[in-house]
Structure 1
Amino acid sequence: MKTNGIGVVIILTFTFFTMATSVFAQGDKASRPSPPATATGKIGAATVTINYSSPSVKGRKVWGDLVPYDKAWRAGANEATIFETDKEIKVAGKALPAGKYSLFAVPGEKEWKIIFNSETGQWGIKRTGEANHDPAKDVLTVAVKPTKSAMTEKLLYEVNKNNVTLKWETVAVPIPVQ
């Protein structure tokens, strides 16, 4: 009788560890097709950090196709992109209080809207495919001009002394920050 009990315990233990390993493996964000990335830097006295998932072009047409024009976009892949500042800053001349925000963008051929939203932690898109963006929680929206740039395969954010720049495919979007 005791050997049957020990066998059941061994099988249950093995099953538990197998399931736990599977669950934790799914949580490994670095192995995603669009892995997590972080950009951080100082702008004046403020430390600005952007946490995002970095998709690749993979031969696709990004702007106006994969990412449609004139629709809110999560500004990355997977979870909504997070923009955090430890001090108040000015974005395109408008005050943004210290805090953590979801960053959304509305790309356009000649102008982009950059949106800082107070809701954080949400998955970047809804089941319908549209951005998981609640306009009622927008804190700040600014208009910026995209520019042409050299090819950038993976989405990249850069925090410089006077701007934050989004680069992907052959587009760069400098966002003035002071």
Structure 2
Amino acid sequence: MKKLVFVLFLFSAMVNAQVKAPQPSPFGKLEQKVGLTDITVEYSRPSMRGRTIFGDLVPYDKMWRTGANENTKITFSDDVVIKGKKLKKGTYAIFTIPMEENWEVIFYSDVSNWGLPKQWDESKVALKVEANTDSMPFDMETFTIVIDELTNSSAVLNFLWESTVAYLPIEVPTDEMVMESIKTTMKANPTSNDYYAAANYYFEEVKDMKQSLEWINKAIDMQEETPFWMLRRKSLIQAKMGMKKDAIKTAELSLKSAQKAGNDDYVKMNEESIEEWSK
């Protein structure tokens, strides 16, 4: 009986034993918020390993899985615009056709494939766009996807490998979402932070500066002791409106408050602005 138990234990251990070793194309995940939109990329990352990539390992003018192993997937939490074309929110597989001058990028609604689909279904192509390419002055050893050049309403999706980068501009509906949020909140019971956020957005997007100043004043009026960063923003709004004397007075208040708080960054910024606006 003991022998049988030992044999069963040994067999179980052999079945459950697995060799753990690094994958040749490790999994990577990129999460980026652009404005108010979440973009997530999941992909496997092959490396050059001394091989020539484009035009050899990855042939020109043929569809590529854009990575390794399972589909490279991208998820958008909101509808977006890519190179002027609309793409509905959701998750898509990314397939590409690298060419010497540019790439064709395909967003495919079926993400369940290992590599390329066994049978291509054109009805599952949600979007097909052309990506521009540039040569890099160095080699990127491991295939890399990057989202950069971030603004409140846009970003650039980059594919980097070997000495090539292919890139696509992406626009997100930040302005539409923020304006609706401001409209709804202002009809309810806005807080000081709500007024500040609205004023700050109008300032950064160069909208109605008069409205921005009105909101920042309401935000300040609701504070027992106005924070230096809120005064700093008001001074910048006033300066943009051409109210330099008022901007200097507000910046001086922000400066004193920042000194009291021991925030050297805001002390420096206010001193520089006061000097600039005094000329």
> TM-score interval w.r.t. the shorter chain?
0.7 to 0.9
- What letter matches 2:139 in structure 1? M
Q: Distance between the aligned counterparts of 1:176 and 1:135, measured in 2? A: 24
**How big is each residue's C-alpha offset from its partner over 1:8-49, in whole Å with a ceiling of 9 and x where there is no partner?**
222122212321232xx5xx6x82111011122122321111
The runs of 4+ residues in structure 1 deviating greater than 6 Å are: none
Alignment partner of 1:110 is 2:101:
yes
Alignment partner of 1:19 is 2:15:
yes
**How big is each residue's C-alpha offset from its partner over 1:56-98, in whole Å with a ceiling of 9 and x where there is no partner?**
1111110011001111111101111011111111111111111
- What letter matches 1:148 in structure 2? S
What's the CA shift for 1:152? Answer: 0.5
Counterpart position of 2:156:
163
Number of residue pairs the alignment of both structures matches: 165
- What letter matches 1:175 in structure 2? L
Task: Tell which deviates more after alignment, 117-126 or 85-94.
Answer: 117-126
- What letter matches 1:138 in structure 2? V
Q: CA RMSD in A?
A: 1.8
Alignment partner of 1:92 is 2:86:
no
- What letter matches 2:6 in structure 1? I
CA contact (8 A) 2:102 2:166 kept: no
CA contact (8 A) 1:122 1:132 kept: no
- What letter matches 2:102 in structure 1? E
Q: Distance between the aligned counterparts of 2:68 and 2:33, measured in 1? A: 25
Larger radius of gyration: 2
The higher-RCO structure (CA 8 Å, 6+ apart) is 1
Counterpart position of 2:141:
153
CA contact (8 A) 1:114 1:144 kept: yes
What's the CA shift for 1:106? Answer: 0.6
Unaligned runs of 5+ in 2: 172-279
Larger helix percent? 2
Unaligned runs of 5+ in 1: none
Alignment partner of 1:78 is 2:69:
yes
Q: 1:39 aligns with which of 17, 26, 30?
A: 30
CA contact (8 A) 2:156 2:170 kept: yes
SS of the equivalent of 1:80 reads strand
Larger strand percent? 1
| Distance change (3 Å), C-alpha of 1:134 and 1:35 | farther
Matches within 5 A, 1:45-64: 45-64=36-55
- What letter matches 1:173 in structure 2? A
Q: Distance between the aligned counterparts of 1:78 and 1:172, measured in 2? A: 21
| Distance change (3 Å), C-alpha of 1:51 and 1:20 | same
- What letter matches 1:166 in structure 2? F
- What letter matches 1:176 in structure 2? P
Alignment partner of 1:143 is 2:130:
yes
- What letter matches 1:155 in structure 2? F
